[in-house]
Amino acid sequence: LCLSYLATAAAQEPVEPLVDPEAMVILQRAAQHMADAERFSVTIRNGYDAVQANGQKIEFGDQRQVLVNRPSQLRVDVVRSDGKQSTVVFDGKNLTAYDHDNNVYARSAVAGDVDAALRHFVRDLRMRMPLSMLIRRQFPSELERRVRQLDYVEETSLFGVASDHLAARGDDVDFQIWIAQ
């Protein structure tokens, strides 16, 4: 699974629904596979464009090593494109975020599972966790709710693996995803 996304300006008009049904089957199959997995690890190479005040798009990125052991264990190690590193760990009771470069950490008690920890991290603590939706059990239903346009771009090979390349738009985020066949 390889993903690239662009956060669009919030003031844009909502995207009119236009979904390729075959592309949605491919996307939902991958989302359901992720949601059903009890244990998995994945390396995510994340690239995104940040639209500057003058309209210029600047590309940034990071690499995330994600380890999930449902229902109550999560670890995400991040190395940003500028070399900065951070780690987020959920042990079933506490959510801990560690900034390697500044040698500081913060801990917050969280009741519940991995999904609850991710919601708390993003919504309550207002911290960034790009692509956290991929990890949550609600991933398939969130796609149904958020994807307004979806196109099948091409069949391709990514890192030597036959893949389907899809492009999607929502009201706030555009993304491309490559899913191994």
pLDDT digits over 114-144, tens only?
Answer: 999 999 999 999 998 877 888 899 999 999 9
Q: For residue 159, how many other CB atoms are within 10 A of its CB?
A: 9
pLDDT at 9: 43
Find out whether 170 and 10 touch, Cβ atoms under 8 Å. Answer: no
Residue 92 region by backbone torsions, left for phi larger than 0, else alpha for psi between -120 and 50, else beta: left
Give CA 64 to chain center in angstroms.
10
pLDDT at 43: 85
Contacts of 159 (CB under 8 A, 6+ apart): none
pTM of the model: 0.79
pLDDT at 7: 45
Distance, in Å, from the CA atom of 155 to the CA atom of 179, rounded to the nearest integer, reads 10
pLDDT at 4: 46
Q: What are the average pLDDT values for consecutive 10-residue runs of the chain, which has 181 residues?
A: 46 66 95 94 84 92 94 96 96 96 96 94 89 89 93 93 94 87 92
Helix 139-146 and helix 21-36, axial crossing angle in degrees, nearest 10: 150
pLDDT at 12: 53
pLDDT at 16: 60
pLDDT at 14: 57
pLDDT at 159: 85
